[in-house]
Amino acid sequence: MEEKEKKETVENEKPAVVETKKEELPSVPEKEKEEPKQPEKQEKGKKNQTIFLILLFVVFLAFIYFLPEITSFIKKQQNQQEITETNKSGTMQCHFTREGESIDYDIEQSFTYEENKLKKSTITTTNQMKSNSTNSDIVNAQASCEILKQSLVSINGISIDCQGDETEQTTVETIDYTVLNLEDLTANIAELGGFAPEYELDQNINTIEKSLEQNGYSCSRIEY
């Protein structure tokens, strides 16, 4: 009986268990949780930038390598466009006047061309006597025209016409370059008094126009 009471006393004397609550840790914001990943994003960005620079450098090298071919292609396109736009057919008139001491000179040049290539020319030179000049100046001009006309009478493709009166003399020189044989002229250069055409077959009409304008002519065209 006594032993039973002792056991109950011992059991009652056991220390009471103290219940403690665990302290809850403060929650970490989402942004703070993601911070450790930033270095990975930066590293990935650097890799992309490096790849882009490499590709850009490769493209640059390719451009330098193929630059001659690219330049040649562009020039061909430009030339083709220029040919398409400017190669025309028609007639061009160029006029020039010059005052001399005793005679005024009026020169009219007419050109027929196809696709910018010269085919025919007519040069009309008019000598107008001034009041202070003598009739001999006009007479001499007419005589020179007649001599040239006779010397070229046998040359195919060239015709000379002489017109004049007491105060004015006109020489009309017409050359058809599609018919003219230059060998006929060079073979008889002495007999022809050194005459030589100013132009030649298929000469570029733009070149002719530029040269004449540089020498004081004014030119106009009728094209089709």
Q: Picking from 24-38, 50-64, 78-92, 133-147, which range would have the lowest pLDDT averaged per residue?
A: 24-38
pLDDT for the residue 52? 81
- Indicate the domain borders of the chain: 90-223
pLDDT for the residue 81? 55
Q: Which CATH number fits domain 90-223: 3.30.450.90, 3.40.1080.10, 3.30.1830.10, 1.10.1740.10?
A: 3.30.1830.10
pLDDT digits (tens, 9 = 90+) for 97-154: 998 888 899 999 999 999 999 999 999 999 998 877 777 888 888 998 998 898 888 8
Rounded to an integer, the average pLDDT of 50-79 is: 79
Token pair listed for 73: 């292609």
Listed residue (203, 185, 205) closest to 194, CA to CA: 185
- Give residue 19's pLDDT band: very low, low, confident or very high (50, 70, 90): low
Percent of the residues in the chain that have a pLDDT greater than 90, as a whole number: 36
Q: Picking from 8-12, 68-72, 106-110, which range would have the lowest pLDDT averaged per residue?
A: 8-12
- What pTM, to 2 d.p., does this model score? 0.59
pLDDT digits (tens, 9 = 90+) for 180-214: 988 877 666 556 666 778 899 999 999 999 999 99
Neighbouring-strand partners of residue 104: 99, 128
pLDDT for the residue 170? 95
pLDDT for the residue 131? 76
